[in-house]
Amino acid sequence: MSSRSPASRTGRPRSAAADAAILAATREALVELGWSRLTLGDVALRAGVAKTTLYRRWPGKNELVVDAVAELFDELELPDRGSLAADIEGVVLQFAEILARPEARSGLMAVVAESTLDASLRERIRTSVVERQKRLVREGRSRAQRRGELPPDPDPRAAERSVDLIFDVVAGAVVHRGLVSAGPVDGPWARDFTALLLAGLATPPSP
């Protein structure tokens, strides 16, 4: 799993406390000001750091907001509830709880909207959020295979395609439910969604 803070640079050592303060201040500013009014100067003031400290770490607002949102999703953990179905339900509900936070909703919707016209921002979202959280799918599949709930992977390339697809299905469904259709992501919904997902997982991926 990647580190939560952005990649370090040469020169003066990074301060984890400063990074945490800056990312927290970014999320606070997103909720209060929104994307369009948020500035790096405001974030620096809220975090109690010099603007030069912030600019040494992030080249611009896009990168800063993506990392602030990514830190929230790094809180996700795959629970061990004894079965694949229960594990999936648990992580789906965790994901929904994070999305329900005003700072997560504001930040995610803002960067996704901005990324439609910015290829570098889309790549930042992919590497900082999507690729990092695919760890949950890999962990869940491996655990279910050890339990005998899923067949072994027939081919590593097919398995990785399956990881990509499972992540897209889970993340897409929860984000759409929570942020687009505004329906509850509660226990009954998570159970129904998991049952639908498991019906597809019962078939091994094609090589």
For the full predicted model, state whether its pTM sits above 0.85. Answer: no
pLDDT of the chain, 207 residues: tens digit per residue: 444 444 444 444 567 888 999 999 999 999 999 888 999 999 999 999 999 888 888 988 889 999 999 999 999 999 999 999 999 999 999 999 999 999 898 888 888 888 998 999 999 999 999 999 999 999 999 999 999 998 888 788 888 888 999 999 999 999 999 988 888 999 999 999 999 998 876 665 555
Task: Enumerate the domain spans of the chain.
Answer: 16-65, 70-201
Rounded CA-CA distance 124/78 in Å is: 24
Q: State the CATH architecture for 16-65.
A: Orthogonal Bundle (1.10)
At a CB cut-off of 8 Å and minimum separation 6, what does 53 contact? 18, 22, 44
Give the sign of the dihedral formed by CA 200, CA 203, CA 205, CA 207: negative
Structure token digits, residue 203: 């078939």
Protein fold of 70-201: Tetracycline Repressor; domain 2 (1.10.357)
Distances from the Cα of 116 to the Cα of 81, 121, 167, angstroms: 38, 9, 20
CA separation, residue 81 to residues 84, 144, 181 (Å) = 8, 11, 29
